[in-house]
Structure 1
Amino acid sequence: MATLRERKRRRTRQAIVDAAVELFERDGYDGTTIADIAAAADIGTRTFFSYFASKEEVLFPDADGRVEAALAAIADHAPDERPADVLLRALRSLNGPDDMVGRVTALRLRLVRTVPAVRGRGLQIQLEAQQKIAQALQPAFPDDLDEVSAAALVGAFVGAVSGALQVLLASPPGDPDEVNRRLYAATDLALRPWLTPR
């Protein structure tokens, strides 16, 4: 169970994200400052920087959690699972129907298309995540993957998720369960050659 301090940190972090999303949508990304976000979250700017290194970072609040989910799925893989099965299981393990298709994700994808700083930070986070996951996947499946094929498989997985979300969230996302269903179907299709036959 989380301590009082941990719960307070989670609430403050979420307040910062919520304030930033509200301001980005209302005033635009360039029209919003870190001071604006801090004021809306009822914190000081120094406190902001103890949670996020920059304005761009606020748009990627769950990046580490997604990598951790993938690493946990790899570490806990069953003997009969193939590498692609493990990656898809990690995708489905993310919390709640809004995790991959919610308001923050939709806003982030919109800003990635229009704000170079957000695009650059997103690409950096994506590259680092792919490397971490591939470096864990290959030794977990040494008979199936070498370093190059592990990197290729993880790249295909991340590209499938990213590409599907770009289309699914181009307009207001609607029912999160339906968006998730279509996301899972698309990633299953993209990784079908690497999946365990059912």
Structure 2
Amino acid sequence: MGEVPGLRERKKLRTRHALIAEALRLFLEKGYEQTTVSEIAMAADVSTRTFFSYFASKEEVLLYNARENLDRTLRAVAERRSDESPADLLARAVGLVFTTFAEDAEVARELASINQLVMSVPSLRAQALLLLFDTQRQLADALHRVCPDELDLIEASAAVGAVIGAAKLAGFVSLKRGDSSEEMVEACRRAADIALAGVRAVTIPEP
């Protein structure tokens, strides 16, 4: 009986990946606006009802990963270790996302394809930008909440904006020059490390 939840979870992951893969294929072949939810479900060999048990809309297929990453990062921040500085906490929280992409090549490829598609569709680009701002705001609030004596809200916002902004921009630049999904993830990680070095330089308490 103990193996059943694991098997069920793997089946759910396969179905979700199938929906994403077919949605991306159809978006690229037909165009985002021209593709319907019914077509995505049919291509993935599931019902439309099953599609909506995984995603609320076509848009959600492309943005679900960002929301999951935010939840994972917020949980990590809330579980601050007693010996962690604000910069080390931010590094660990953001690093969890990079580790996920580095360990799962399929997820990394999905991310690369999604980013390329989002940047090519104006309505998706606008929604992704709003989501990015909201992600940074929530993460800055969480960081300030667990480090109230070390960072005020402006400092927490600056730290989060520097790290997330650096990683996002580096990822888009990497894709634009034709890098692989693995190279894109490494570019994001490297950019985040550079930004974190700056955060550490300004958050180290004076002697």
CA 187–2 in structure 1, closer or farther in 2 if over 3 Å, else same: farther
RMSD between superposed Cα atoms in Å? 2.6
Residue 12 in structure 1 maps to residue 18 in structure 2? no
CA distance in 2, matches of 1:7, 1:180: 24
Report the TM-score, using the length of structure 1 for normalisation: 0.84
Correspondences of 1:71-90 after superposition (within 5 Å): 71-90=74-93
Q: Supply the AA of the counterpart residue of 2:40.
A: I
User: Following the alignment from structure 1 to structure 2, what is the Cα–Cα distance between the partners of residues 96 and 121?
Assistant: 22
Distance 2:124 2:73 in 1: 23
Q: Which of the numbers 63, 66, 70 marks the counterpart of 2:66?
A: 63
Deviates more, 1:12-21 or 1:1-10: 1-10
Alignment coverage as a number of residue pairs = 196
2:186 to 181, 184, 191: 181
The alpha carbon displacement at 1:69 in A equals 2.4
| Per-residue deviation, 1:28 | 2.9
Q: CA offsets, 1:73-129, max 9 Å, x none?
A: 213333332223222222322314157982222222223322122112212322222
Aligned to 2:145: 139
**Distance of 2:94 and 2:179 partners within structure 1:** 18
Structure 2 residue aligned with 1:107, among 99, 113, 118? 113
Alignment of 1:118-137 (within 5 A): 118-137=124-143
Q: Matched residues in 1 for 2:93 and 2:107: separation?
A: 16
What 5-or-longer segments of structure 1 have no aligned partner?
none
Work out whether residues 17 and 61 of structure 1, in 8 Å CA contact, stay in contact via their aligned partners in 2: no
CA distance in 2, matches of 1:15, 1:87: 33
1:181/1:2 CA distance change after superposition, 3 Å? farther
1:192 matched to 2:194? The reply is no
CA distance in 2, matches of 1:169, 1:194: 26
Task: Give 1 or 2: higher helix fraction.
Answer: 2
Is the Cα–Cα contact under 8 Å of residues 115 and 172 in structure 2 kept in the other structure? yes
Distance 1:100 1:15, change over 3 A: closer
> For residue 42 of structure 2, what is the aligned residue in structure 1?
39
Q: CA deviation at 1:6?
A: 3.9
Query: SS of the residue aligned with 1:142?
Result: coil
Q: Greater relative contact order (Cα 8 A, min sep 6): structure 1 or 2?
A: 1
Q: Which of 147, 157, 166 is the matching residue for 2:163?
A: 157
Distance 2:32 2:45 in 1: 19
